[in-house]
């Protein structure tokens, strides 16, 4: 019949998620865990936005040990060594106080404990680089044997 209207067959959507081997409880538990994680993460984001000074992000941004001048030497150690906690290079020799204490083992209050003019600093860096190359060559030679 040419004038007959064809009605589309309705599509039935599944009402349940089909799990392998019919294990519906595994899917339900997984969805529950995902829901809990989303709620916790959402709560943390909301809390951080509402409380920027006490939220998680403010705790992450704070260093564990205060270092006001960011020279690598904590404020407590600046006091111990007698250096200025507000100047990264107390003796103004071109090396930060942290570099002098931890790397070069020099006195961060005495500019003449190791002259660190730009030329001397380049010499120190070149020596470190040469030491590195020598260690690398030694390891390379040992690995070929």
- What is the pLDDT at residue 83? 94
How far apart (Å, rounded) are the C-alpha atoms in residues 101 and 112? 14
Six-digit token pair at 51? 């409380």
Q: Which has the higher per-residue pLDDT, 121 or 61?
A: 121
Residue 117 has pLDDT above 70, yes or no: no
- What is the pLDDT at residue 22? 62
How far apart (Å, rounded) are the C-alpha atoms in residues 68 and 107? 20
- What is the pLDDT at residue 19? 58
Q: Are 89 and 95 in contact (CB under 8 A)?
A: yes
Residue 115 has pLDDT above 60, yes or no: no
């Amino acid at each position: 019949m040419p004038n007959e209207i064809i009605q589309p067959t309705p599509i039935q959507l599944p009402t349940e998620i089909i799990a392998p081997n019919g294990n519906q409880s595994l899917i339900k538990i997984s969805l529950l865990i995902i829901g809990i994680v989303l709620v916790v993460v959402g709560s943390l984001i909301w809390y951080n936005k509402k409380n920027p000074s006490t939220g998680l992000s403010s705790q992450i941004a704070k260093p564990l040990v205060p270092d006001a001048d960011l020279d690598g030497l904590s404020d407590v150690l600046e006091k111990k060594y007698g250096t200025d906690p507000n100047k990264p290079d107390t003796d103004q020799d071109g090396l930060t106080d942290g570099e002098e204490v931890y790397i070069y083992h020099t006195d961060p209050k005495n500019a003449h404990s190791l002259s660190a003019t730009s030329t001397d600093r380049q010499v120190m860096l070149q020596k470190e680089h040469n030491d590195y190359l020598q260690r690398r060559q030694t390891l390379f030679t040992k690995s070929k044997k």
